[in-house]
């Protein structure tokens, strides 16, 4: 074919797929049966049975729902500043969003994975990826605080992440965009992709007790797009599987140019082998720059350091780490069943679902059943790795979760449905429409060794006619299905925050009793803590003024402050003295160019304020903390730059005596 014809035919193929985007499921009217309401009704005062942690997509946050009610419990800020509670605005939390590019207030958060022990969810942490400026975060599920964020060098768009090994030994981060390595001259023509661009996969170790993350090593791989991944488990523990697309190595119009090959790859990674090479000193130390940010629950303060080295293993030179397995048509989801034997690849443009066998892959490697290599990496023969194909499952398969009873459920974006099929005989058992264009789906524990297959939740991209209209942008949405019987039954729609991608769910009992209720004030080691009202003070250090303030129902101490001058930088270090559950105080001051603080009991938080005019400035508590919450307020007096008004502060008295320079 001449290039123009080839281009045209590829375009036609894409147009066909695009035209399928508007497929609507049939039998819409009969989708919900009469007992759905009772199955999702959680009576007032009763708790939900499951926590559901849902990625926020372009909101950069994670939201937490109760299942089966679909009630929103909390939004946890991870990569995006959150004025609601001061995350990323308070002096203590700003370092969490530091990167090698400086402070970044936003990211695109796609996947979450709960920590596991022996392949089961242990309820300690949940990890999150950042898809724009490559990072991985750890959220502590005793506080629901983001505790740690690590940036990833040699990467561009951390999409296939943060998938976890069965004992949380590692979480991985595979780059979506291949890019020139950070220590190479990146000032190259973009069309030198094939020569200069590399794909990097990071293995981030997680310390057993503290959860502390560290980049253990990186694998330098051919320049393709890594999309999703899952770890082996059970018999395949020690292996990791990544879907890749753009094996065409296109750098422009990927819609067409990365959709040409009949098959792309799933990359199987023997990470135990990589560990051996690492121990044997086969890694190359590479100088790079990446941020590592840690939040300390004792000082209630984050610190950020820039690290300058990673160890890179070259998978072209170091044999037996990586193998490519052909997988039809731009694979997206890459999911491993609870036994660890079956690896499911979902080609976005494929009309079937290939299921690969771990045993067959091992045999293929032993027999060298290869179809040559791709950029130095052996390509296993498709048939040699294949267990079988699910025929005509639907259009546009994306992601698969498992029910632990020998079945898989796959989402289909184009045909807007979820489809249940049997892993052994690869027969389709049931299908249910989604409204509409489902992306990820989630069964509690559905990517672990022990799923709890009561429900599946579908996270949809398009809602069209499902909710009251809200202008051009409609609500994003999740849908809950009962999968306890043979037939999947739609129970509930609930809107989500941001755009939901992957989600995790777990029995509430695994997490709820871990909740920290308040921070012990005697353990507060923030350098600016005031452990009682007697310790409050206002201290001038040149043009910086530090206010050591306390909050308790229902006053701030001090609540009258004078002697602030134009040109000062004022730091309000507010300690919440309460020692009881569910009594946060807020703090805000007029004209502050950031956000409020929301201070948990026993915690200290700091708001920076630069006054911009002379006058009296109100400040107050923002959280309705008691019947006299509206009384929880005070004033700051701002004087001209050259003024000689001394610093003074008080609560409940009018000391100091009336200032002589004040106008009568």
Residues lying near ligand CUA in the complex (CB under 6 A): 551, 585, 621, 623-625, 629, 632
If the CB atoms of residues 100 and 651 are measured against ligand CUA, the closer one turns out to be 651
Contact partner at residue 585 from ligand CUA, ligand K7E, none, CB < 5 to 8 Å by partner kind: ligand CUA
Say if residues 65 and 74 touch (Cβ distance below 8 Å).
no
If the CB atoms of residues 292 and 348 are measured against ligand K7E, the closer one turns out to be 348
Cα angle for residues 93, 94, 99 (degrees, 5° grid): 120
If the CB atoms of residues 399 and 585 are measured against ligand K7E, the closer one turns out to be 399
Concatenated DSSP letters of 305-338: EEEEEEEEEETTTSTTSEEEEEEESSEEEEEE-T
Task: Specify the DSSP element, H or E, that contains 205.
Answer: strand 199-206
Contact partner at residue 625 from ligand CUA, ligand K7E, none, CB < 5 to 8 Å by partner kind: ligand CUA
The CA distance from 541 to 546, in Å, is 8
**Shortest reach from residue 144's CB to ligand CUA, in Å:** 21
Cα angle for residues 430, 26, 443 (degrees, 5° grid): 40
The CA distance from 429 to 189, in Å, is 51
Contact partner at residue 169 from ligand K7E, ligand CUA, none, CB < 5 to 8 Å by partner kind: none
DSSP β-ladder status, 284-296 and 263-270: unpaired
If the CB atoms of residues 354 and 397 are measured against ligand K7E, the closer one turns out to be 397
Contact partner at residue 632 from ligand CUA, ligand K7E, none, CB < 5 to 8 Å by partner kind: ligand CUA
Say if residues 79 and 135 touch (Cβ distance below 8 Å).
yes
Contact partner at residue 637 from ligand CUA, ligand K7E, none, CB < 5 to 8 Å by partner kind: none
Contact partner at residue 248 from ligand CUA, ligand K7E, none, CB < 5 to 8 Å by partner kind: none
If the CB atoms of residues 547 and 621 are measured against ligand CUA, the closer one turns out to be 621
**Shortest reach from residue 634's CB to ligand CUA, in Å:** 12
Contact partner at residue 453 from ligand CUA, ligand K7E, none, CB < 5 to 8 Å by partner kind: none
If the CB atoms of residues 54 and 552 are measured against ligand K7E, the closer one turns out to be 54
φ, ψ (nearest 5 deg) of residue 514? -85, -10
**Shortest reach from residue 563's CB to ligand CUA, in Å:** 25
**Shortest reach from residue 619's CB to ligand CUA, in Å:** 12
CA distances from 633 to 78, 555, 588, 614, 619 (A): 30, 7, 10, 19, 6
**Residue 499: is the preceding peptide bond cis (ω within 30°)?**
no
Cα angle for residues 246, 249, 253 (degrees, 5° grid): 75
If the CB atoms of residues 286 and 460 are measured against ligand K7E, the closer one turns out to be 460
Please identify which residue in the block is written with the tokens 């040109």: 567
- The tokens for 565 are 């001058």
**Shortest reach from residue 188's CB to ligand CUA, in Å:** 57
Contact partner at residue 502 from ligand K7E, ligand CUA, none, CB < 5 to 8 Å by partner kind: ligand K7E
Chain residues binding ligand K7E by CB under 6 A are 110-111, 159, 228, 332, 398-399, 439-440, 501-502
If the CB atoms of residues 49 and 578 are measured against ligand CUA, the closer one turns out to be 578
**Shortest reach from residue 80's CB to ligand K7E, in Å:** 16
Q: What is the SS3 assignment for 606? A: strand
**Shortest reach from residue 157's CB to ligand K7E, in Å:** 10
If the CB atoms of residues 263 and 332 are measured against ligand K7E, the closer one turns out to be 332
Contact partner at residue 332 from ligand K7E, ligand CUA, none, CB < 5 to 8 Å by partner kind: ligand K7E
**Shortest reach from residue 23's CB to ligand K7E, in Å:** 17
If the CB atoms of residues 155 and 315 are measured against ligand K7E, the closer one turns out to be 155
CB proximity list for 253: less than 8 A, separation 6 or greater = none
Closest CB to ligand K7E: residue number: 439
Sign of CA dihedral 100, 106, 112, 114: positive
Say if residues 586 and 621 touch (Cβ distance below 8 Å).
yes
Contact partner at residue 111 from ligand K7E, ligand CUA, none, CB < 5 to 8 Å by partner kind: ligand K7E
Q: Output the furthest CA–CA distance in the chain (Å, rounded).
A: 96
CA distances from 128 to 148, 224, 281, 444 (A): 10, 23, 30, 17
């Amino acid at each position: 074919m001449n290039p123009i014809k080839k281009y045209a035919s590829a375009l036609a193929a894409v147009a066909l797929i695009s035209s399928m985007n508007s497929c609507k499921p049939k039998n819409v009217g009969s989708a919900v049966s009469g007992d759905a309401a009772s199955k999702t009704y959680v009576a007032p005062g009763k708790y939900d049975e499951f926590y559901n942690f849902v990625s926020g997509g372009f909101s950069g946050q994670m939201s937490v729902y109760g299942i089966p009610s679909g009630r929103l419990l909390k939004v946890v800020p991870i990569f995006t500043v959150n004025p609601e509670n001061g995350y990323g605005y308070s002096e203590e939390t700003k370092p969490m969003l530091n990167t090698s590019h400086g402070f970044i207030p936003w990211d695109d958060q796609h996947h979450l994975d709960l920590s596991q022990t022996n392949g089961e969810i242990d309820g300690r942490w949940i990890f999150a990826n950042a898809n724009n400026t490559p990072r991985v975060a750890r959220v502590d599920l005793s506080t629901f605080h983001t505790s740690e964020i690590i940036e990833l060098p040699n990467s561009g768009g951390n999409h296939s992440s943060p998938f976890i090994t069965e004992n949380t030994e590692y979480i991985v981060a595979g780059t979506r965009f291949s890019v020139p390595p950070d220590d190479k001259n990146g000032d190259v023509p973009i069309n030198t992709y094939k020569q200069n661009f590399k794909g990097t996969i990071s293995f981030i170790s997680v310390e057993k007790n503290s959860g502390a993350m560290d980049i253990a090593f990186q694998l330098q791989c051919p320049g393709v797009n890594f999309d999703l991944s899952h770890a082996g488990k059970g018999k395949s523990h020690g292996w990791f599987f990544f879907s890749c697309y753009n094996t065409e190595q296109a750098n422009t119009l990927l819609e067409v140019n990365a959709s040409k090959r009949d098959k792309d790859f799933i990359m199987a990674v023997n990470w135990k082998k990589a560990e051996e090479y690492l121990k044997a000193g086969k890694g190359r130390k590479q100088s790079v720059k990446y941020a590592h940010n840690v939040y300390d629950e004792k000082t209630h303060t984050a610190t950020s350091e820039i690290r300058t080295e990673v160890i890179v293993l070259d998978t072209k030179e170091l044999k037996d780490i990586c193998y490519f397995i052909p997988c039809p048509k731009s694979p997206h989801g890459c999911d491993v069943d609870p036994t660890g034997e079956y690896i499911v690849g979902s080609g976005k443009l494929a009309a079937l679902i290939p299921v690969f066998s771990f045993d067959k892959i091992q045999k293929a490697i032993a027999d060298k059943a290869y179809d040559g290599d791709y950029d130095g990496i052996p390509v296993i023969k498709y048939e040699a790795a294949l267990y079988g194909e699910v025929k005509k499952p639907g259009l546009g398969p994306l992601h698969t979760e498992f029910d632990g009873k020998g079945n898989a459920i796959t989402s289909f974006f184009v045909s807007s449905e979820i489809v249940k099929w049997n892993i052994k005989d690869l027969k389709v058992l049931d299908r249910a429409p989604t409204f509409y264009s489902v992306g990820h789906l989630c069964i509690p524990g559905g990517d672990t060794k022990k799923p709890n297959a009561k429900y599946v939740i579908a996270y949809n991209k398009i809602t069209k006619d499902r909710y009251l209209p809200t202008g051009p942008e409609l609500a994003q949405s999740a849908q809950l299905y009962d999968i306890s019987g043979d037939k999947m039954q739609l129970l509930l729609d609930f809107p989500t925050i941001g755009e939901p991608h992957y989600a995790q769910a777990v029995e509430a009992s695994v997490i709820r009793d871990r909740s920290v209720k308040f921070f012990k004030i005697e353990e507060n080691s923030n350098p600016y803590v005031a452990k009682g009202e007697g310790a409050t003070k206002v201290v001038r250090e040149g043009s910086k003024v530090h206010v050591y303030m306390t909050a308790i129902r229902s006053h701030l101490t001090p609540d009258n402050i004078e002697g602030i001058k134009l040109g000062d930088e004022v730091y309000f270090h507010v300690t919440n003295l309460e020692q009881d559950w569910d009594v946060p105080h807020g703090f805000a001051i007029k004209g502050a160019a950031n956000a409020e603080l929301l201070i948990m009991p026993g915690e200290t938080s700091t708001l920076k304020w630069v006054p911009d005019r002379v006058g009296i400035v109100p400040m107050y508590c923002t959280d309705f903390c008691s019947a006299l919450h509206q009384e929880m307020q005070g004033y700051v007096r701002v004087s001209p730059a050259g003024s000689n008004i001394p610093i003074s502060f008080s609560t409940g008295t009018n000391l100091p005596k009336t200032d002589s320079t004040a106008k009568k």
